[in-house]
Amino acid sequence: MKIAQIAPPWIAIPPKNYGGTENVIYNLVEEQVAQGHDVTLFAPGDARTSARLVSFFPHALIDSGVPWQAHLKAFYHFYKTIEYIQCHHFDIVHLHLSSSADMYLFPLSVQLKTPCVMTIHSHFPFDRVQSWIGDADTYYMEWMKSMPMIAISKQSCAHLPTQLLVKDVVYHGLPMKDFMPTVVRPDNYLAWLGRFVPEKGAHLAIQVARATKTPLVMAGTIDRHVVESVNYFEDQIKPQIDGELIKYIGPVDLHAKVDLLSRARGFLNPIDWEEPFGMVMIEAMAVGCPVISFNRGAASEVIDDQRSGFLINTIHEMVKCVDQLESLDRQSVRSYVEQKFSVRVMAEKYLRVYRRVRNSALTGPALAAITLSDPLSAPAFPFAFASSSYKSDNDRSNAFQGSLASSLTLEPDPEILL
C-alpha cells in the first residue's frame, strides 16, 4: 500500500529525547516499511527514516527555537504537504492531531481526493495557549466531523466530541528489539520520566520516594517555551533535588531511557489528569519494569493490574505497592507488552483501518463508527470556558471534557479485534 504519513513539524522524528507522538510516528513508519509498504513521510529535513522523506524546511521547529505559539512555518509545512499529495498517487493519507497547529490539516485536507484518516494523540480543546482557551474548535467542526478518526484508547474515545467519526481504537506499539533489558536484576531505585508539568506528577513521585526512603531518579524535559512548565520545575521540583535520594539526570535519549528503566525497581506514574494513553508506561514494562500508576485516564487499559504493575488511587496506596514490586515477574511484564503493545500489532491494526476507510471512500459516504446511547441529550460541542476560572491545564481539560457526552461506544467490527 502507498501510504502518506504527515508528521507535525515541531519535534524531530525520531525525537532526541521527549516526544510521544513523534516516537509513535517513527515506530509506525519503520514497521510499515519493514512490512513492505511504500511509505512517504512528510517531516522536517532532520528526520531519520527508512521511508521516502519529503521536507520543506531543514529542521524541526522547536529545535530551531520556534515557540509553540508561532504557527506560520507549521502552516507552510502542512500546506506544501497537501499540495504535494494532490500531485502524486497515494492509497491512504495518515494525519496526526497532537497540538493546536495540527488543526490546520482539517480545512487543508478537504482538497484531497485520496482517503484520509487521522489519529488523535492529545485531548480537546486544541484552541489553547497555556492558560488561555479559545473557541476555534467550534468552527473547525465544519471539517472535523467528516474526517475518519482513530482514538488511542477507549478512555480517550469516551471524551471525544460526539460529532466525530471515530473508526476504531488502536493502541500505541513499541519495537521490542529496541527495548531489550540491560540488566538481569534491577538496582534499588524508582524511576519517573516525562515532561515537567503538574499533571504528570513528578512532585508526587518525590513524596513516594521520601515516604519509602527509596532513591528516585527523574529524567525528562522542561519546556522552556511554556512558562507554567518552567515555574513548576523551578518552584516544586528543583528545590527537592539533592543528588542522593532525589536525582534529576536531564533529558534522555532512547539508549539512556532503556537503561534507566531496566535498572529501576519500578516506574512511578502518579498522573493527575485523564491521560489518553501513557507511552512511558509501555516503555517501562517493555524492559520488564513494573509500573505503579494512579487509575486515571487509560491506565487501566495499559496496565494489567497485579501482573505488569499496580493500579492505585492514592499516594498511600502507591507507597504500599513499592514493597510489592518484587512480587511481579519482570519477564512476564515484558511478555505482556510484546503481546499487546508491539509495533507489529499496532501496524497491522492501522492497516485494517486503512482498508476500511478506503473501502468506505470507494463505495460511498462513510458510515458513522460511533453510536450514542442517548444522542438527543448530547450537549453541543464545544463549550468555551473563561481561562481565569481554572488553576491548571488539568482543571481546564476536565471542565471541557465534562461538557462532552461520555457515552461513546465503538461500533462492533468483526475485522478488527482490539
| pLDDT score recorded for residue 365 | 52
| pLDDT score recorded for residue 130 | 81
State CA 286 to chain mean position distance.
17
Distance CA 404, CA 198 (A): 24
pTM of the model: 0.86
Structural domains in the chain, sorted by start: 2-173+345-410 (3.40.50.2000), 177-340 (3.40.50.2000)
| pLDDT score recorded for residue 362 | 80
Which residues in the chain come in under a pLDDT of 50?
Answer: 366-418
CA atoms within 13 A on the CB side of 167: 26
What are residue 128's DSSP bridge partners? 133
| pLDDT score recorded for residue 142 | 95
Contact 18, 165 (CB under 8 A): no
| pLDDT score recorded for residue 225 | 83
Cis peptide, bond prior to residue 382, ω within 30 of zero = yes
Distance CA 235, CA 203 (A): 10
| pLDDT score recorded for residue 18 | 75
What are residue 242's DSSP bridge partners? none
| pLDDT score recorded for residue 364 | 63
CA dihedral 276, 281, 282, 286 (to 10 degrees): 180
- Cα angle 259, 263, 269 (rounded to 5 degrees) comes to 95
Contact 28, 350 (CB under 8 A): yes
Query: DSSP letters along 156-190, please?
Result: HHHTS-TTSEEEEE----B-GGG---S-SS--S-E
What Cα–Cα distance (Å) separates residue 273 from each residue in 22, 97, 122, 155, 255? 21, 19, 12, 12, 28
